[in-house]
Amino acid sequence: METFTSDERALLAPHFSNVDGPVFALVDLPETVKAAMFARYSRYPGTLRRLFLDEFAASLPARGAADDDVEGARAAELFERIFVGYGDDSVAQLGGMHVAVEWCSNVLTKILQRPRLAGYLEQSTRYIAYDAPMPGGGYRYYRDESLGAEYAASMDFLFDSYSEALPRVSAWVDASYPVTEGEPEAARRRAVKAKALDLLRGLLPAASLSHMGIYASGQAYEQLIMHLLAHPLPEARACGRQLLEAVKSVMPSFVSRVEREGRGDVWIDYLSERRAAEQRWVERLGLDREEQAEAHSSVRLVHVDGDENQLLAALLFEAAGVPEDRTLATVETLSDEDRAAMLADLVGERANRRHRPGRGFEAVRYRFEIVSDYGAFRDLQRHRMLTVQWQGLTPDLGAEVPEEVVAAGCGELYERALDRSRVEYQRLRDAGLVDAAPYALCLGYRIRYVLDMNAREAMHLTELRSAREGHASYRAVAQAMHDAIADIHPSIAATFRHVDHSTEPRLERILAEIRGESRAQLTA
């Protein structure tokens, strides 16, 4: 093993979890230095700690340096040469940071959470009442004077409705759901509140302001910033500029191309031109708006790739020593019982939903087209090991008034709010503010989107999202997705042992809608 002098050890000790062992963590070093050192691994003959001593220790930025140098000359120079010069983008995956984005609308949160190679956590509408005034006063919704006084009046009307309904629906929930033996008072209060918040979140407009945290690599931030700067929504572009400043304050080299003439500007133009081209073609082909849209939730399995035999063959691939088509041919000679027994054995006992079978499950693909309320979409959009595409939020697909809200005596209040939201949406559109119009729409309005995933992700998503503590509207989607897979691939669906098909009044109603729709599809 390599030895270091006592002076060298003194330089190494603050920045490496150990100085002698072959496996060690990098500690308290700028992201760019860590990434640059790893980038040097490919050409440097020695070890990383020796590289640090040879090339980086002398140019580390001084703590709190007045010159705002957060990277050190060596790392910045290396990044400029490798990342910007050679265009080796992968080095930008070697550094990451945490960024908080606060007071952002529920339209912007979905734009921020589009990149899949990142981690996110967002303040929940299911556990926090959204009618508390903001620090400077007023309800928490996105404000922009160019949207006009009617917009602010409509948003205040929606929040007033939400605020008025909350205590009434909470009282109804408390009276309607009997106290179970030994249920602690505090837990009871939390459960009643969560149920009432769940029932009323559909009243909140997409303009409602949230807080979220992002953990991502430099590469993911660069992509996200350029998408934000290319976005037609002023809120998104403003956030893109702020995010750029935040990343530059910690690891400027990772986003140095964004403001580089002939690099970031060209890339941003390319992105906005793609959006414009899509818009042009849907208008030319008359596909931009559905006049008589069917106003109900639906889950449709619109495309399937692969079958149960292919999944079995793929599950055996890594252990086999023959070409896959030979394995597939062998599997096809087995009886149904043998195949089912083999699949059950290959998947094993799965004591809990985190015990997931191997990559063979990625050989089968399901494409779902879903219509659900925006609230459920917001939750399901967070899944990253899939392709999710969503259409703009409009009132065309309608919204559902939860019967529990009607039973609590707030049905008319809810209907009036939905109407006010739809009218304000249309006023903004008529005023030419097409991109801003969705701000006005309640989260209860439905949206159309696709979730395209392999069977392994389908197992994760349906098991996680059908769980009892989930929101009824996305539990219904998860259960319906599992049912659709079971119709096509019963053996595969049988391995999704942790899908919770238990229901409750609201969930049952949404499921009835979805099943009604798929039956209509089958008989269409």
Ligand X SMILES: Cc1cc2nc3c(=O)[nH]c(=O)nc-3n(C[C@H](O)[C@H](O)[C@H](O)COP(=O)(O)OP(=O)(O)OC[C@H]3O[C@@H](n4cnc5c(N)ncnc54)[C@H](O)[C@@H]3O)c2cc1C
Contact 474, 376 (CB under 8 A): yes
Residue 341 C-beta: closest distance to ligand X, Å: 28
124 makes contact with ligand X (CB under 6 A): yes
d(CA 486, CA 374): 26
Residue with Cβ nearer ligand X (40 or 110): 110
Residue 488 C-beta: closest distance to ligand X, Å: 21
Residue with Cβ nearer ligand X (119 or 505): 119
193 makes contact with ligand X (CB under 6 A): no
Residue 122 C-beta: closest distance to ligand X, Å: 4
Residue with Cβ nearer ligand X (436 or 507): 507
Q: 466: closest CA among 486, 441, 491? A: 486
Say how many Å lie between the first and final Cα of the chain, rounded: 73
The 354-373 contact track toward ligand X, x by CB under 6 A, reads: --------------------
463 makes contact with ligand X (CB under 6 A): no
Q: Which residues contact 217 (CB under 8 A, 6 or more apart)?
A: 92, 93, 94, 95, 96, 117, 118, 254
Q: Is 224 helix (H, G, I), strand (E, B) or coil?
A: helix
Residue with Cβ nearer ligand X (325 or 469): 469
Which two three-digit tokens encode residue 379? 């939750």
Q: Which residues contact 295 (CB under 8 A, 6 or more apart)?
A: 396, 397, 398, 446
The dihedral region occupied by 348, where left means phi > 0, alpha psi between -120 and 50, and beta the remainder, is left
Residue 329 C-beta: closest distance to ligand X, Å: 32
Residue with Cβ nearer ligand X (121 or 276): 121
Quick count: other Cβ atoms within 10 Å of Cβ 134?
A: 12
460 makes contact with ligand X (CB under 6 A): yes
Residue 125 C-beta: closest distance to ligand X, Å: 9
d(CA 374, CA 444): 6
Q: Which stretch binds ligand X (CB under 6 A): 113-121, 235-243, 277-285, 301-309?
A: 113-121
Contact 111, 236 (CB under 8 A): yes
Residue with Cβ nearer ligand X (65 or 385): 385
Residue 100 C-beta: closest distance to ligand X, Å: 13
Q: Which stretch binds ligand X (CB under 6 A): 33-41, 118-126, 501-509, 513-521?
A: 118-126
Q: 104: closest CA among 265, 247, 269, 214? A: 214
The 464-493 contact track toward ligand X, x by CB under 6 A, reads: x----xx-----------------------
Q: Which stretch binds ligand X (CB under 6 A): 176-184, 397-405, 416-424, 462-470?
A: 462-470
Which two three-digit tokens encode residue 355? 């015990």
What are the angstrom distances between the C-alpha of 16 and each of 8, 29, 34, 63, 97? 12, 9, 11, 17, 19
382 makes contact with ligand X (CB under 6 A): yes
d(CA 218, CA 405): 45
Residue 126 C-beta: closest distance to ligand X, Å: 7
d(CA 60, CA 47): 18
The residue from 14, 46, 85, 119 that contacts ligand X (CB under 6 A) is 119
The residue from 296, 384, 497, 515 that contacts ligand X (CB under 6 A) is 384
Residue with Cβ nearer ligand X (24 or 120): 120
Residue 272 C-beta: closest distance to ligand X, Å: 27
Helix runs in 250-361, H state only = 264-284, 308-317, 324-332, 336-347
Which two three-digit tokens encode residue 351? 């004591």
Which two three-digit tokens encode residue 131? 């009618």
211 makes contact with ligand X (CB under 6 A): no
Q: Which stretch binds ligand X (CB under 6 A): 121-129, 224-232, 323-331, 367-375?
A: 121-129
Backbone angles phi, psi at 160, to 5 degrees: -60, -45
Residue 98 C-beta: closest distance to ligand X, Å: 13
Q: Which residues contact 57 (CB under 8 A, 6 or more apart)?
A: 11
Element housing 104 (H / E) = strand 96-105
Quick count: other Cβ atoms within 10 Å of Cβ 371?
A: 25
Residues, the chain: 524
Residue 255 C-beta: closest distance to ligand X, Å: 20
Residue burial 353-366, b: 16+ Cβ < 10 Å; e: rest: beeebeebbbbbbb
**What is the distance, to the nearest Å, from the Cα of residue 37 to the centroid of all Cα atoms in its chain?**
32
Contact 480, 514 (CB under 8 A): yes
387 makes contact with ligand X (CB under 6 A): no
Residue 356 C-beta: closest distance to ligand X, Å: 8
505 makes contact with ligand X (CB under 6 A): no
Residue 202 C-beta: closest distance to ligand X, Å: 17
The residue from 65, 100, 121, 329 that contacts ligand X (CB under 6 A) is 121
The residue from 276, 385, 406, 520 that contacts ligand X (CB under 6 A) is 385
By CB under 6 A, the count of residues binding ligand X is 15
**Residues from 315 through 344 that contact ligand X (CB under 6 A):** none
Q: 172: closest CA among 202, 196, 207? A: 196
The residue from 31, 71, 122, 308 that contacts ligand X (CB under 6 A) is 122
Residue with Cβ nearer ligand X (120 or 157): 120
Q: Which stretch binds ligand X (CB under 6 A): 89-97, 254-262, 298-306, 380-388?
A: 380-388
504 makes contact with ligand X (CB under 6 A): no
Q: Which residues bind ligand X (CB under 6 A)?
A: 119-122, 124, 382-385, 457, 460-461, 464, 469-470
